[in-house]
């Protein structure tokens, strides 16, 4: 089964300092048909105005990943984690038994554009944790950004899930084998690609459940795509 999630069908949130698009139900956007995809609970595409951001607030029992597409994002939390996440870097925060954190645009002049991703953990009430890394993706190939065991210098998260990134030049093609018994979610972060016989633009996504195929992704223009490999 292949599930289509067009960019324009996503939920939307606006404030004078924030524009957010919600792939799944989040905050004031609620659609019972889009409560998540397996353990993948949230993909928010956020653009935050210069100097603005999310004031301190609490989460528990969620794996939270932030991938910055443009600009700089400043993070602080009460576990001692903190720093500036720049374009091309990934942050992991495991909320565990509870953590208070904030995210602000680190620039007084330029907006920050990032994806906020929530994955349900495989354990409850663990100790909070934090890490970040620059993603040195090979041009026109896949790089593993997050995994349960930290393989290939990826961030180790608390779930049997893997997050892959491909940065593609126009005309480039990558493949990934999808296995039965797993779920996969392909999210176009930037640019335009062709995948599974469909043309996908930035913000578009495809979900795959009980599919066994070699998924080919071809860039129609320079693009970044994320592929989530998830438990069934």
Q: What is residue 126's three-state secondary structure?
A: coil
Q: How many Å apart are CA 185 and CA 163, to the nearest integer?
A: 10
Least confident of 131-135, 184-188, 199-203: 131-135
Bridge partners (DSSP) of residue 177 are 214
Cα distances from 125 to residues 59, 60, 94, 99, 128, in angstroms, run 11, 8, 10, 11, 8
C-alpha count within 13 angstroms, C-beta hemisphere, residue 165: 25
Find all residues with CB under 8 Å of 9, minimum gap 6, and list them: none
Q: How many Å apart are CA 164 and CA 212, to the nearest integer?
A: 18
Q: How many Å apart are CA 88 and CA 72, to the nearest integer?
A: 10
Q: Closest Cα partner for 159 from 230, 58, 91, 96?
A: 230
Render pLDDT for 42-91 as a digit per residue (tens, 0 to 9): 999 999 999 999 999 999 999 999 999 999 999 988 888 888 999 999 99
**Average confidence score pLDDT of the chain:** 95
Q: Is the pLDDT of residue 138 over 80?
A: no
Render pLDDT for 147-175 as a digit per residue (tens, 0 to 9): 999 999 999 999 999 999 999 999 999 99
Q: Could you give the percent of the chain with pLDDT greater than 70? A: 100
Structural domains of the chain, with CATH: 10-134 (2.60.120.10), 142-231 (2.60.120.10)
Q: Closest Cα partner for 55 from 109, 113, 101?
A: 101
Mean per-residue pLDDT, 101-125: 96
Please, which pLDDT band fits residue 137 given cuts at 50, 70 and 90?
low
Residue 210, pLDDT score: 86
User: Token match 């932030």: residue?
Assistant: 66
Q: Which two tokens stand for residue 101?
A: 């954190």
Residue 211, pLDDT score: 85
pTM of the model: 0.95
Spell out a b/e string for 176-212, using b for 16 or more CB atoms within 10 Å of the CB, else e. Answer: bebeeebbbbbbbbbbbbebbeeebbbbbbbbbbebe
Residue 194, pLDDT score: 98
């Amino acid at each position: 089964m292949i599930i289509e999630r067009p960019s324009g069908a996503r939920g939307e949130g606006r404030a004078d300092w924030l524009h957010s698009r919600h792939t799944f139900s989040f905050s004031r956007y609620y659609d019972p048909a889009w409560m998540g995809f397996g353990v993948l609970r949230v993909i928010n595409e956020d653009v935050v105005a210069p100097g603005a951001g999310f004031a301190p607030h609490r989460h528990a029992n969620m794996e939270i990943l932030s991938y910055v597409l443009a600009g700089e994002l400043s993070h602080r939390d009460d576990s001692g984690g903190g720093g500036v996440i720049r374009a091309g870097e990934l942050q992991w925060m495991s909320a565990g038994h509870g953590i208070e954190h904030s995210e602000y645009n680190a620039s007084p002049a330029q907006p920050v554009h990032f994806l906020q991703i929530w994955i349900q953990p495989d354990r409850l009430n663990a100790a909070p944790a934090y890490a970040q890394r620059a993603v040195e993706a090979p041009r026109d190939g896949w790089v593993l950004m997050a995994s349960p065991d930290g393989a290939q210098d990826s961030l180790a998260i608390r779930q049997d899930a893997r997050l892959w990134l491909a940065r593609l030049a126009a005309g480039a093609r990558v493949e990934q084998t999808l296995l039965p018994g797993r779920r996969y979610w392909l999210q176009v972060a930037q640019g335009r690609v062709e995948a599974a016989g469909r043309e996908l633009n930035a913000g578009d996504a495809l979900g795959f459940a009980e599919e066994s195929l070699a998924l080919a992704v071809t860039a129609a223009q320079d693009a970044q795509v994320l592929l989530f490999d998830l438990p069934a």
